[in-house]
Structure 1
Amino acid sequence: MKIGYRTIKTAVGTPIAVSIAQLLGLTNFVSAGILTILCIQSSRKRSFVTAWDRFLACAIASIYSFIFFELFGHNPIALGMMLIAFIPTTVFLHITSGIATSSVIILNLYSASSNPTSFLMQQFLLIIIGIGTALLLNLYMPSLDKILEDKQKELEDKFQEILFQISRYIRNNEEVWDGKEIIESEEMLNKANNLVERDIENHFIRNKHPYRDYFRMRYRQLEHLKAMLPLASQLERADALSERIADYFERLSKNVYPENTAIIFLNELKELRASFNLEKLPTTREAFEVRSNLFQLLHEVEDYLKIKQKYKKTDIKLVKRYERKRQESQE
């Protein structure tokens, strides 16, 4: 089982906060550790926002507790009255994330027989130590670039398999594929997008992210891949034209990577469509349906490739290398 950075930060920060509070001789020093646990976040931006919300909520809770307990005594009724006033205040100020953190200070003040000013000041020190320790630890966030790079490679492998299985079905009409790569690709894209958003929150001056556009592009392409599957599954017979399209899909499956070589396959697509014009018109309903599905399949492929073309400039070197290899293989 893998231990995450958030767990490590909690394990490191809690004893540090407790130790500082204990060294300062503060009452309820363990509360500093509880506050640290509650304030550890998954991103820098979120930690700064929630730190301010929690500090403000704790400060308000301390003042409300001091007033209500001094006026009405330390009893459940006074506690309930205080919460009736405190919680709407946090809602009004949009700092409800600080309610759980504030409960630590509220219960500290409630459990004391009296709340002299010195004890109230100790609670403020506990707030500063607990939230401050968590904030300092949250300044360090591990880079997600390697994880996102791995997600990118895994996703491209899934796309390659999907395209290959489409080519296989067009050629052999074999229904041996369970289509799990489609579901896995969707799950992978959702996880990758969540990671991208978290990585953006870890960089205060970064509004754009190279992987955000990439995964959005792949998500749009996946929709077209899903649209291709029913079209391919309706091809009940293969002819010379469908064989060429199967070869086209197989080549396409071997060229799924971050670089943009979409122009190559868009040009090949024009050649395939030209082949349609040279073929005789279908004479049977079955042949017409096959031809219609093949034509629609090429339309989906074109949209799939154009999405990649809009995402990134064409990589000329890779295009030339591909065309050179293709010419050599034809010779």
Structure 2
Amino acid sequence: MRLLHTAIKMSLVGVIASLIARLLSLDFWITAGILAILSIHLTKRDSFVISVRRLIDSIFGLLLATLFFISFGYDFVVFSIFVFIFAYVSWVLKMPEGIVPGLVLVSHLLNEGEFSLALLGNELLLIVIAVAVALIFNLFYPTSTEKELQSHVESIDQLVRDHLYMLHLLLKDPLYNEEYYRHFERLDRKLTDTIDIVELVDKDLLFLNDHSYLAYFHMRKEQTNYIRHMYRHALKINKVHPFALEIAGFIYEMSFDIGIYNKAVVQLKNLDKLQIKYKASALPETREEFEVRAMLYQILNEIESLLMVKVQFHHLYPDFNQKRYKS
């Protein structure tokens, strides 16, 4: 859908910019449409930043070329030297987006063969019209909204709940561990794909965007890394252990608290009680039990890290749920 909207915007800005240039009786009016199309990108932020760079660099190229042609003549050798200098400076200034449009406009000056203030003004108007039309479309064309990000929040939170639910089943029933892990891998791929979409949506919010949504999704991604570690530890457990059943129950209860609110602090307190209980328990009597309890201890550490990531997020964005989910 995003690609479709981008194609629509490209078509519209190309036609409108060309028509405006033609109505103003500008020479090479079709160039305005082509340059406008080049200024459209997948997200509003990218389009805005690149369009401004393209405008500045193209104007710089026109003025530099005019200076070269007046000083050394309208010659292909002069043009070649200009291309080298212009391209090099554009890259140094981190504005390479203006190289191609600038060269297209400068080629019009070269074809004229002599200095013309009217032609220089014509070229400046072409790039200004192109960038202006593209910017207006990028700002006002309806695309992603904050509600879309909220729907992705709910989607990703559900994926994390599913991760934890499958983990609690794995600890209770290690016999089918390979099936649980395959399910986790499918969920993880879906989560990664969703975050890729969200990164594009985040760039469509130009104003009043503190990037808290993006931070939220990366926080969830980091949490899934800890869940992956827990899966790997759980896969090494090949028998049901009483402690494993308790931890599975804790993970099951914790899965219901996955959401936008900061419930991690309470869960950390419950986890601390669980750790104290295990430390006070009798030492393992066999090597096999020792290895199982060692894996379970690692899982508890991963749970603690998972919860701490959520706590840190709310320290950075304490009003996340109030700002986004007003009733």
Offset at residue 255 of structure 1 (A): 3.2
Cα pair 1:6 1:41 within 8 Å, conserved: yes
Cα pair 1:193 1:215 within 8 Å, conserved: no
Q: What SS does the aligned partner of 1:139 have?
A: helix
Offset at residue 167 of structure 1 (A): 1.2
1:108-155 per-residue CA deviation (whole Å, 9 max, x = no partner) reads: 223345553322222222122222211222222634323322322222
What is the letter of the counterpart of residue 166 of structure 1?
L
Worse-matched range after superposition: 273-282 or 99-108? 273-282
Aligned equivalent of 1:30: 30
Structure 1 residues 45 and 158: alpha-carbon distance in aligned structure 2, compared to 1, 3 A threshold: closer
Within 5 Å, give how 1:98-117 maps onto structure 2: 98-112=98-112, 114-117=114-117
Structure 1 residues 271 and 97: alpha-carbon distance in aligned structure 2, compared to 1, 3 A threshold: same
What is the letter of the counterpart of residue 217 of structure 1?
M
Aligned equivalent of 1:327: none
Pick the aligned partner of 1:295 from 294, 297, 306. 297
Aligned equivalent of 1:310: 312
Aligned equivalent of 1:18: 18
What is the letter of the counterpart of residue 101 of structure 1?
P
Aligned equivalent of 1:318: none
Offset at residue 98 of structure 1 (A): 0.9
- Name the Cα RMSD after superposition: 2.9
In structure 2, what is the Cα distance between the partners aligned to 1:193 and 1:55? Answer: 26
Cα pair 1:182 1:226 within 8 Å, conserved: no
Structure 1 residues 277 and 99: alpha-carbon distance in aligned structure 2, compared to 1, 3 A threshold: closer
Q: Does 1:240 align with 2:242?
A: yes
Aligned equivalent of 2:324: none
Cα pair 2:51 2:131 within 8 Å, conserved: yes
Structure 1 residues 292 and 240: alpha-carbon distance in aligned structure 2, compared to 1, 3 A threshold: same
In structure 2, what is the Cα distance between the partners aligned to 1:300 and 1:56? Answer: 50
Aligned equivalent of 2:161: 160
TM-score by length of 1: 0.81
Within 5 Å, give how 1:1-331 maps onto structure 2: 3-42=3-42, 46-69=46-69, 76-112=76-112, 114-140=114-140, 142-173=143-174, 174-175=176-177, 176-177=179-180, 178=182, 179-180=184-185, 181-196=187-202, 198-199=203-204, 202-203=206-207, 206=208, 208-277=210-279, 279-312=281-314
Offset at residue 46 of structure 1 (A): 4.6
In structure 1, what is the Cα distance between the partners aligned to 2:172 and 2:73? Answer: 83
Offset at residue 299 of structure 1 (A): 2.0
Cα pair 2:87 2:99 within 8 Å, conserved: yes
1:306-325 per-residue CA deviation (whole Å, 9 max, x = no partner) reads: 32233338x9xxxxxxxxxx
Q: How many pairs does the alignment contain?
A: 310
What is the letter of the counterpart of residue 152 of structure 1?
V
In structure 1, what is the Cα distance between the partners aligned to 2:204 and 2:137? Answer: 16
Identity of paired residues, percent?
25
Question: Which is greater in Rg?
Answer: 1
What is the letter of the counterpart of residue 281 of structure 1?
L
In structure 2, what is the Cα distance between the partners aligned to 1:31 and 1:260? Answer: 54
What is the letter of the counterpart of residue 219 of structure 1?
K
Worse-matched range after superposition: 70-79 or 97-106? 70-79
Offset at residue 232 of structure 1 (A): 0.8
In structure 1, what is the Cα distance between the partners aligned to 2:244 and 2:55? Answer: 67
In structure 2, what is the Cα distance between the partners aligned to 1:111 and 1:148? Answer: 50
Structure 1 residues 113 and 290: alpha-carbon distance in aligned structure 2, compared to 1, 3 A threshold: same
In structure 2, what is the Cα distance between the partners aligned to 1:312 and 1:92? Answer: 40
Worse-matched range after superposition: 100-109 or 283-292? 100-109
1:209-252 per-residue CA deviation (whole Å, 9 max, x = no partner) reads: 33133223223322221221121111121132222222222222
In structure 1, what is the Cα distance between the partners aligned to 2:149 and 2:32? Answer: 35
Q: What SS does the aligned partner of 1:282 have?
A: coil
In structure 2, what is the Cα distance between the partners aligned to 1:236 and 1:123? Answer: 74
Structure 1 residues 82 and 311: alpha-carbon distance in aligned structure 2, compared to 1, 3 A threshold: closer
Gaps of 5+ in 2: 319-327
